[in-house]
Amino acid sequence: MNMYDIIYKKRTGNRLNREEIYYFVEGYTKGQIPDYQASALLMTFFLHPLTDGEIVDLTTAMCQSGDTVDLSPIEGIKVDKHSTGGVGDKTTLIALPVAAACGVPVAKMSGRGLGFTGGTIDKLESIPGMKTTLAEEEFLAQVNRLGLSIIGQTTNIAPADKKIYALRDVTATVDNLGLIASSVMSKKLAAGADAIVLDVKCGNGAFMKSAEDARALGKIMRTVGRTAGKNMVVLITDMNQPLGNAVGNSLEVIEVIETLKNKGPADIRLLSLTLAGTMICLGGLAETPEDGFRKAEEALESGRALEKMTAFLTAQGGDAGVIQDYGKFPQAKERRAVLAADTGFITAINTEAVGSASQRAGAGRETKDDPIDLSAGLLLQAKIGDRVTKGQPIAEIFGNDTAKLENAAEIYSAALRIENTLPICPPLILDVL
Ligand code: URA
């Protein structure tokens, strides 16, 4: 077997078998296959999309390229939650304490943000003292003790994905359904949960721009998960505007805490409770997702979810005093108001540009090792469907560098469309698969 024949076989429209897929994944991970041959093969997947069977084989090979986490020392049905990435998406930090407060054991490995999307681990690190690296025994013991732990992904989870993703990033091969599905699912399968709730984002702030593509991605990830014996539910949700009002690490965690105090924005509340309700149902603690939603709502409204969050932060060394005193978060030295350029209704928001504005203010990385400013970001004061008057403040930008803030404000202003007619607001939850 050799790479030339494998590339030729796929380029001419033939299905690759399991041995050929493993040959590529193992060889590339070990550095035995050069980037140029791996890139050529990745590009053939745009000419001849991977079949479901090929995606299953690719995912399994990538999953087996590194360590897999054994969650069997944790009692109960372990349920994971994953979002394909968006702007202002802080639902993990709400849905997980809610589900844990309802008895679902949650052992979650999360990633950092890259580019315009934020990552849960960066958000958590805006809490003074918070540890996001725990030894495996500590991680498992904490879940058994209080039902919830969230840590950064260890380096040896799906190393093949790490290498292939880095190559995709520089060869214009990221936005391929089979490659995204295998990348996401290889890490999810290695993380060891029994059931997974996937939130596939769809719209101008997501990889999948159309509902049709998002559904196709959701269906194939569901197939891959079920083939591996996991119980799966996929939500298709809107990303044509940021979720909630806060974008940027500490600003988002403050919005998380407000939501856990039952004072958060309606969209964040709805999606977080829907995700938590689905987790509760998959965890066998509710008959239906609707019943799970009611249980989740009760945990939120009674304050039990906030108590769970407090216990979780404290267990991982975080200063839970942030819950009462937001002044304990890293503070931006500068703020800049963005004013409406026109009078009318906000009819559209270029969500990816909002993520870029936040990144520009300092909240995101341009390359993977860049430092980030945990205090930087945006607070939106108007969203799609709101009527604004020329000169009215519509957002506030936070950071520590005047020039960057100016630039972020320009990017944000250009991201909005203001028109005379009231738009139809996009529904938040488009489908459940
Ligand atoms: N998230 C991932 O982990 N991989 C992709 O390919 C896209 C989004």
The boundaries of the domain holding residue 35 are: 3-48
Tell me, yes or no, whether 165 and 259 share the same domain: yes
Tell me, yes or no, whether 14 and 162 share the same domain: no
Ligand 1 in contact with 184 (CB < 6 A)?
A: yes
Local confidence band at 114 (pLDDT 50, 70, 90 cut-offs): low
Instruction: Say which residue the tokens 């986490």 belong to.
Output: 69
Tell me, yes or no, whether 207 and 234 share the same domain: yes
Q: Any catalytic annotation for residue 413?
A: no
Please report, rounded to a whole number, the percentage of residues in the chain having pLDDT higher than 90: 91
Tell me, yes or no, whether 290 and 380 share the same domain: no
Catalytic residue, from 83, 126, 183, 250: name it. 183
Q: Give pLDDT, residue 426.
A: 79
Quick one: average pLDDT of 49-60?
97
Tally of domains in the chain: 3
In a domain, 208, yes or no: yes
Tell me, yes or no, whether 292 and 200 share the same domain: yes
Tell me, yes or no, whether 99 and 200 share the same domain: yes
Sign of the CA dihedral with 424 first, then 418, 86, and 164 last: positive
pLDDT for 405-432, tens place per residue? 999 999 999 999 999 999 988 799 999 9
Ligand 1 in contact with 221 (CB < 6 A)?
A: no
DSSP string over 48-91: SPPPHHHHHHHHHHHHTTSB----TTS-S--EEEEE---SS--T
Q: Give pLDDT, residue 207.
A: 87
Tell me, yes or no, whether 144 and 235 share the same domain: yes
Tell me, yes or no, whether 381 and 317 share the same domain: no
Quick one: average pLDDT of 176-180?
94
Instruction: For the chain, give the longest Cα–Cα distance.
Output: 66
The domain boundary residue, chosen from 323, 354, 386? 323
Ligand 1 in contact with 85 (CB < 6 A)?
A: yes
Tell me, yes or no, whether 319 and 333 share the same domain: no
Quick one: average pLDDT of 175-197?
95
Ligand 1 in contact with 240 (CB < 6 A)?
A: no
Is the pLDDT score of 155 beyond 80?
Answer: no
Token code pair at residue 279: 């987790």
Q: Any catalytic annotation for residue 187?
A: yes
In a domain, 57, yes or no: no
Q: Give pLDDT, residue 364.
A: 83
Give 269 Cα–ligand 1 centroid separation in angstroms: 25
Is the pLDDT score of 61 beyond 90?
Answer: yes
Q: Give pLDDT, residue 115.
A: 62
Q: Classify residue 325 by its DSSP letter.
A: -
Ligand 1 in contact with 83 (CB < 6 A)?
A: no
Local confidence band at 371 (pLDDT 50, 70, 90 cut-offs): confident
Tell me, yes or no, whether 385 and 288 share the same domain: no
Quick one: average pLDDT of 283-306?
98
The domain boundary residue, chosen from 269, 288, 323? 323
Name which residue sits closest to atom 7 of ligand 1, judged by CA: 180
Give 177 Cα–ligand 1 centroid separation in angstroms: 10
Give 183 Cα–ligand 1 centroid separation in angstroms: 5
Is the pLDDT score of 39 beyond 70?
Answer: yes
Name which residue sits closest to atom 2 of ligand 1, judged by CA: 184
In a domain, 55, yes or no: no
**Domain containing residue 337: CATH number:** 3.90.1170.30
Local confidence band at 170 (pLDDT 50, 70, 90 cut-offs): confident
Q: Give pLDDT, residue 247.
A: 97
Q: How far apart are the first and last CA of the chain?
A: 39
Quick one: average pLDDT of 278-305?
98
Catalytic residue, from 81, 82, 162, 163: name it. 82
Mutation to probe ligand 1, out of 42, 114, 157, 165 (largest number of atoms < 8 A from CB): 165
- Residues with Cβ within 8 Å of 381's Cβ and at least 6 positions away in sequence, in order, are 245, 393, 394, 395, 396
Sign of the CA dihedral with 12 first, then 14, 15, and 19 last: negative
Bridge partner list, 198: 82, 234
Cα separation, 58 vs 104, whole angstroms: 30
Mutation to probe ligand 1, out of 63, 153, 168, 174 (largest number of atoms < 8 A from CB): 174
Mutation to probe ligand 1, out of 80, 173, 180, 220 (largest number of atoms < 8 A from CB): 180
CA distances from 402 to 64, 156, 247, 367, 381 (A): 47, 40, 18, 22, 21
What does the mean pLDDT of the chain come to? 95
Q: Any catalytic annotation for residue 183?
A: yes
**Domain containing residue 37: CATH number:** 1.20.970.10
Q: Any catalytic annotation for residue 161?
A: yes
Local confidence band at 119 (pLDDT 50, 70, 90 cut-offs): confident
Catalytic residue, from 57, 80, 89, 161: name it. 161
Tell me, yes or no, whether 307 and 351 share the same domain: no
In a domain, 185, yes or no: no
Is the pLDDT score of 153 beyond 90?
Answer: no
